[in-house]
Structure 1
Amino acid sequence: MLYGSIIFVVEFKVRAEAHDAMSRWQVQSYGMDLRDFHAGSRGRVIVPVLCATRAEHQGVEEDFTVVIENGIADVVRAGANDLAERLLALAQYARRDDEPIEPNNWLASPYRPTPTIIEAAVRLYEGHGVRELSHRHAHNLDLTTQMLVQEIELARLQRRRVICFVTGIPGAGKTLTGLDVVHDPELRGNAAAAGIFLSGNGPLVKVVREALVIHQTRKGRRRKDCVHEVGTFIQNVHQFLRYHRENPEAMPHEHVVVFDEAQRAWDQGQMSRKYDVAASEAAELLDVMERLPEWALVIALVGGGQEIYLGEAGLEEWGRALTDRVDRWHVVASPEVLGGGESVAGHRLFDGPAPPESPVPRRTSGSPRRRCAEPPCPTVGRVGERVPNSTPRRSSRARPRLS
C-alpha cells in the first residue's frame, strides 16, 4: 500500500487472535526485501503492519509512535477493527518534503540488490562453512574457480554470451565451485559482474543457506540478519525464471548465473504441465540472459546420472537449446561434455555432431593435463573458439583435469 512517500507492507492473518513472533518476522522480512532488492523502494520509509483479524480492538494510543531504523519501521500490530485507525495514524510519517511515490513507476521498478546488501552477503560468505559440504581439497576447487573467473572477465571484455559446462561426479565439489564463483571478490570490484547461484533442488538451497547462517551465528551475529543476507546470491531457479516470465521487459541484474545440477533442468513437457510454458527450462534461462544487451555468462554444473524425477531433461536438453541459438552463444566445455564420459554418465551435450556454426572448444597448445586425487574434482574445458564446419572428436587420451 502506497501513501505519499510511505510504503505500507500489510500482512493479514485471518482468524488469528495474536501477533506471534513468526508472523512479525515474516512481515518485517517483506519490508527488508523491498528495501534491499527493489529499486523503487530504496530510500523510502517502509512500515510493516501485521493484522491479526481477531485480535482485541485497541484503537490508537495518544502517544502512538513508531521507531524507524535503517528505513524500516518496527512492526505495527493491528486487528480487523482498528487497522484503518492505525494506518491513518501512520500517515503522519509521510514527510511533506519527500517526493511522493508514483505507483506505476514503483510497480515497474526492477529487482536490483543494493550495494550494502551485496557487501553484507560477501562478508557473510568469507570464511564460510559451506566448504564442509564438500570432501574436496581447497586447491582443486580454487583452480576451477580461477578458470571460471577468467572466462567471466573475457566475456565481459569481449562483449559476448558464453555458457560454461563444469562436470564432475557426485561429491567432486561442483556446488562449492559455483558458490565460490558468485562470491569471488575479483567480480565485486569497480563495475564488476554480479552473480547469482540458482538451483532447482529446494532441499539443497535450504542446506547451503543454513550452513552459511549457522557458521555466522556461531560468531555471534543475529540469525535474522544472516538469513536475510544469504538470500542475495542463492535462489531457487523456478522463482528466478517465474519473476522474469511475469516481467517480460525486466533485464536480469546478474550478468553471471550459476545453474546447479543443470542436468535436472525441466524439459518442455514438464514446463508446460507446471507453468503452461512452451519452452524447456534451459531454453527459458538462455532467453532471459539474452535480454542483457552486452554480455552474459551461464555456468552449468553438470553431474551424470542424477536425472531422477519426471521431466528432468539431462545434458542433451541444453544442447537442443543451444542448437536453436547457435549464433548467439559461445560454448566452453570439457571433452566429456561433447563426447560423453564418466563424469556425465555417458551423456553428450549434442545428440549428434555439434552444429557447424557453433563455437566449439579446441585445445590450445600448452593446455595443462593434470590429475587430482579421487574423487575427481570439477572439470571444465578451455575457452571455446569459433571453428566453422568442424565436429568435435572424442579424444582417446585421458581427459584433462584441473588439480
Structure 2
Amino acid sequence: MMNKYSFSIQTGKAYYCNSIPGFIRDDSTSIIGHLVKKSFDVNKEQSNAWEYQISELQSRLEACGIEGDIIFEYDIVRLGKRIDVILLIRHMVFSLEFKNGKKVFTVQDAQQAEDYALDIKNFHKESEDLYVCPILIATHAPEYAKEQSLDCYPDKQIYLQRENIETVIPKVTSLCERYGDNENIDFAKWFNSPYYPTPTIISAAVEAYSSHNLSQIANSEAGQYG
C-alpha cells in the first residue's frame, strides 16, 4: 500500500513509515515484505519479531484511536543502529525498543533504550525542542512493579518507561495527555532532519571532559540554533 510519505523522505532513513491510520489499514504481510526487502541481513527470528510488533501495534493503536505517524527501523546515524519503532504523536517523539518474548527488564536493555532516545534528543535537530520519551518493551514481562515517574529532564526528555505489550499504548496515551499539544509535526522535516550535536550538548561535553563529569552530557539541555 502506497503511503503519503513515499515521495518526501530520504531513501534509507527507515524501512517503513506511514501515518498511524494508514499503518492500521495497511496489510501486515505487505509491511513485513517491505521491511524484509529493506533489510540487508534478516533472519526468521527478526521476521517473526516484526510480524508480532505490527500485529500488536495495529490492533492496539486502532483501539485507542491515536492520530500521528509511525516509523519502523529509523536510522540513528551517530550510533550506526536503528530504532525499532518511533511514534510521532501530539508533538512528541516516542522511541520504542522491543524485546520480544522477554519476561524481565534488564539493565542492559534499559541502557540501550535510553541511549537511543538521548541520541535523538541531543543530535537530531528537529527533536531538540520536542518531548522525547524512551520506552523499553519487554513484551511478556509482568507489569513493572516499581512506580515509574512520568517526569522529565529540563531538556524535555522524559524518564525511561518500562512496559509490556499490554501497557505500552496506555502509557503513550497517558504521557500524551500530560505533555502533548495539538501542534502538528512536519513529518518530512522531522524525518529528514539534520543530524549533529545541539549547541548545549557541545558545551556540556567540553565542560564534562574538563571536569571528568560525564553524567552532565546525558542530562544537558538541548539548545537552539538561532
Cross-structure match for 1:280: none
Provide structure 2 residue ranges, at least 5 long, that are not aligned to the other structure: 1-86, 220-226
Q: Paired residue for 1:78, among 133, 153, 163?
A: 163
Q: Paired residue for 1:93, among 131, 154, 178?
A: 178
Instruction: Provide the C-alpha distance between the structure 1 equivalents of 2:140 and 2:171, rounded to a whole number of angstroms.
Output: 16
1:171-191 Cα deviation digits (max 9, x unpaired): xxxxxxxxxxxxxxxxxxxxx
1:31 and 1:48 in contact (8 A); partners too: yes
1:49 and 1:78 in contact (8 A); partners too: yes
Q: How does 1:256-295 map to 2 (within 5 A)?
A: none
Provide structure 1 residue ranges, at least 5 long, that are not aligned to the other structure: 128-215, 230-403
Instruction: Provide the C-alpha distance between the structure 2 equivalents of 1:58 and 1:126, rounded to a whole number of angstroms.
Output: 38
Cross-structure match for 2:115: 29
Q: Which runs of 4+ in 1 moved over 4 A?
A: 223-226
One-letter amino acid of the counterpart of residue 51, structure 1: I
1:102 aligns with 2:186: yes
Q: How does 1:347-366 map to 2 (within 5 A)?
A: none
Cross-structure match for 2:223: none
User: Would the alpha carbon gap of residues 64 and 125 (structure 1) be closer, same or farther in structure 2, given more than 3 Å must change?
Assistant: closer
Cross-structure match for 1:9: 95
Please, what TM-score do these two structures have when normalized by structure 2?
0.51
2:123 and 2:196 in contact (8 A); partners too: yes
1:106-154 Cα deviation digits (max 9, x unpaired): 0011012111111122223437xxxxxxxxxxxxxxxxxxxxxxxxxxx
Instruction: Provide the C-alpha distance between the structure 1 equivalents of 2:143 and 2:209, rounded to a whole number of angstroms.
Output: 45
One-letter amino acid of the counterpart of residue 151, structure 2: V
Aligned residues: 132
1:6 and 1:93 in contact (8 A); partners too: no
2:149 and 2:159 in contact (8 A); partners too: no
Q: How does 1:196-207 map to 2 (within 5 A)?
A: none
How big is the alpha-carbon RMSD for the aligned residues of Structure 1 and Structure 2? 2.8
Whose radius of gyration is greater, 1 or 2? 1
Percent identical residues: 26
User: Would the alpha carbon gap of residues 5 and 119 (structure 1) be closer, same or farther in structure 2, given more than 3 Å must change?
Assistant: same
Please, what TM-score do these two structures have when normalized by structure 1?
0.30
Cross-structure match for 1:118: 202
Instruction: Provide the C-alpha distance between the structure 2 equivalents of 1:82 and 1:95, rounded to a whole number of angstroms.
Output: 19
Instruction: Provide the C-alpha distance between the structure 2 equivalents of 1:87 and 1:21, rounded to a whole number of angstroms.
Output: 22
Q: Paired residue for 1:54, among 128, 133, 140?
A: 140
Q: Paired residue for 1:66, among 122, 147, 150?
A: 150
1:3 and 1:94 in contact (8 A); partners too: no
User: Would the alpha carbon gap of residues 18 and 58 (structure 1) be closer, same or farther in structure 2, given more than 3 Å must change?
Assistant: closer
